[in-house]
Structure 1
Amino acid sequence: MKTYKNKKGSEIPDSAVNQADDKPAARGILITIILLISILGVIYFIFFKDYFMSLFPAD
């Protein structure tokens, strides 16, 4: 990661220099997306169960 030093006449706020790592937030977003897709898949299967059962009739 490139570190920029203060140039004469320009100041960088401490909050911009000492930012937290964004990897945990990115991991949380990925987990949330996977969880939501799984939940929506289960809900879809519950409401369209008759359709899935008609694909494989029990004789």
Structure 2
Amino acid sequence: MLILVIILFMACWGPKIVFFVFQKNGFSQESFKPLVYNMRICLGLLPFIHSCLNPIIYR
């Protein structure tokens, strides 16, 4: 169960953190393109999905 918790945490929070690190380190001029905007929205929703999965994981 611990491995499942770690994998889901990394799968839900990892892409968001990596994306924002890349965005802050030089890709900020591209932040207004539609693809980047849509990625920000989708990656911003992943932590909420993780929160919804927590009751199922810990059951």
Provide TM-score, normalisation by structure 2: 0.40
Give the number of the structure whose residues are more often helix, by fraction. Answer: 2
Provide TM-score, normalisation by structure 1: 0.40
Higher relative CO (CA 8 A, sep ≥ 6), structure 1 or 2? 2
